[in-house]
Structure 1
Amino acid sequence: MNNILVVDDDAHIRKLMRLYLENSNYGVIEAVDGEEALELLGKHPIDLAVVDVMMPKIDGYELTEDIRSFLDIPILMVTAKGESQDKVKGFRAGTDDYLVKPFDPVELILRVEALLKRYNIRADNTVKIGSTVVDKDKLVVESGEKSVSLKRKECELLFVLASSPGKIFTRNQLIEKIWGFDYEGDERTVDVHIKRLREQLENFEEIVITTVRGLGYRLEASHG
């Protein structure tokens, strides 16, 4: 999972970004200003930084220059300032891309994806539960000598559930993550895929998909 550092002094903006980034399977680390951001960059592996311009203590321009002095990661600058001179200042400071508030959160995700691709930062497409590995590239689940091939949507569904063991996902959340926001089919599609997954995973004791009545599904990990 790629980790995204979100730096903004506005709690509402951070919450919005976190919601959309986590829904797109990114890890999110928040900082309220440039000082905290620099501390966190020294403690956590960060794959991309989303940086607001107008912040107390250290503004976005200075923070971008500081990050550039010791890290080669993509930086996306977000600001209420849309004038060309502000963009020029941002690019001179070292930002890779620029997003003006108010922004469409879907555009934020697309820009993050494009920057990670440009930097050849590959998304981690495997998740491990005990000795069981779900591989989204190979479309397989493996544990020791056991191996089962899955269809793409089945594997993506299992990958989402396995990435957050114990977390309850509603059918709507799963549809948005796997089939997309514009999917016009029935929620029962999820039920059909869950049924197939359970059949395929009968011999994998470490992972069990449970139904949470009235809510949705969650994956429970049993490590023996």
Structure 2
Amino acid sequence: MPQLKGIKILLVDDEPNILRFLEIGLQNEGFEVLTAQDGLSAITLVKQFQPHIVILDVMMPGMDGFEICRMLKKTENLAVIMLTAKEEVEDRVKGLNLGADDYMVKPFSFDELLARIHARIRNHFPNMWGEVVAGPFRIDDRRKEISYEDKVLELSPTEYELLKFMAINNGLVLSKAMILDKVWGYDFNGEENIVEVYIRSLREKLNDREHRLIRTLRGSGYRIDVQ
């Protein structure tokens, strides 16, 4: 996953262990993070901290997550991801109707939470997504340029979209079907081996002759490995 600089996240949960786990994980991803254990503290911190995203537990003593979400969405320009141990459809519908932008049921994968955070940033704050750093890659979506080790790569539009998708999902295995869907579109009717053709071209431009940067996982897909 890429590191996005300047993104502020407020975590709101009455369980200290969950708060600490998420706080450490998100700080390691490059986010600025503050935490709150109740609704009133959360409302106060939003005014002071001005977060871009609030990750909000539903079940809390006093003011619950639904009420906090309703209050924040009336006055603040931010994205809300709600967390709950409940799986009832009516709870999800209630949260979304109050303005929540996404909903996750505990327990959840940290990688999935990261993916949802990135989706919210792209949707709510596209200008902040304009430049993303992922290891040696610098992706400038406004210029449609990708630099590798500070050198701008000469890429076709499709090569750009493919490399951006892989770099942003650094460390994750991406199947050919997933790549075709995200880069070429769900209605693409060509052959899957088009992915192999473009991967080969990217490896040449990255001087990745030994496939150490773009790895092939037989039967699974491809993965970019960068720190």
- TM category (shorter chain) comes to 0.5 to 0.7
Cα separation, 2, equivalents of 1:80 and 1:58 = 17
Pairs within 5 Å for 1:49-128: 49-121=54-126, 122-123=128-129
One-letter amino acid matched to 1:75: V
Cα separation, 2, equivalents of 1:98 and 1:61 = 12
**SS of alignment partner, residue 81 of structure 2:** strand
Q: CA deviation at 1:152?
A: 5.4
Pair 1:24 & 2:39 matched: no
Give every structure 1 segment of 4 or more consecutive aligned residues whose post-TM-superposition deviation is greater than 3 Å. 123-127, 135-138, 178-182
Counterpart pick for 2:149 among 135, 148, 151: 151
Q: Which runs of 5+ in 1 are unaligned?
A: 128-134, 139-148, 154-177, 183-224
Q: CA deviation at 1:92?
A: 1.2
Q: CA deviation at 1:120?
A: 2.7
Counterpart pick for 2:52 among 38, 44, 47: 47
Q: CA deviation at 1:41?
A: 0.8
One-letter amino acid matched to 2:51: I
**SS of alignment partner, residue 107 of structure 1:** helix
Deviations 1:93-125 (A, max 9, x none): 110100000011111111011011111341585
Q: CA deviation at 1:24?
A: 1.6
Residues 123/18 of structure 1: CA separation in 2 closer, same or farther (3 Å cut): farther
2:38, 2:62 within 8 Å by CA — same for their partners in 1? yes
Cα separation, 1, equivalents of 2:55 and 2:67 = 14
Instruction: Give aligned-pair identity as a percent.
Output: 33
Indicate the residue corresponding to 2:7 in structure 1.
2
Deviations 1:160-187 (A, max 9, x none): xxxxxxxxxxxxxxxxxx96478xxxxx
Cα separation, 1, equivalents of 2:60 and 2:150 = 43
2:38, 2:60 within 8 Å by CA — same for their partners in 1? yes
Quote the RMSD (CA, aligned, Å).
Answer: 2.8
Cα separation, 2, equivalents of 1:54 and 1:67 = 17
Q: Which runs of 5+ in 2 are unaligned?
A: 1-5, 141-146, 152-168, 174-227
- What is the aligned residue count? 142
Residues 179/108 of structure 1: CA separation in 2 closer, same or farther (3 Å cut): closer
**SS of alignment partner, residue 83 of structure 2:** strand
**SS of alignment partner, residue 62 of structure 2:** coil
Higher mean C-alpha deviation, range 85-94 or range 15-24: 15-24
1:50, 1:78 within 8 Å by CA — same for their partners in 2? yes
Cα separation, 2, equivalents of 1:119 and 1:47 = 9
Indicate the residue corresponding to 2:42 in structure 1.
37
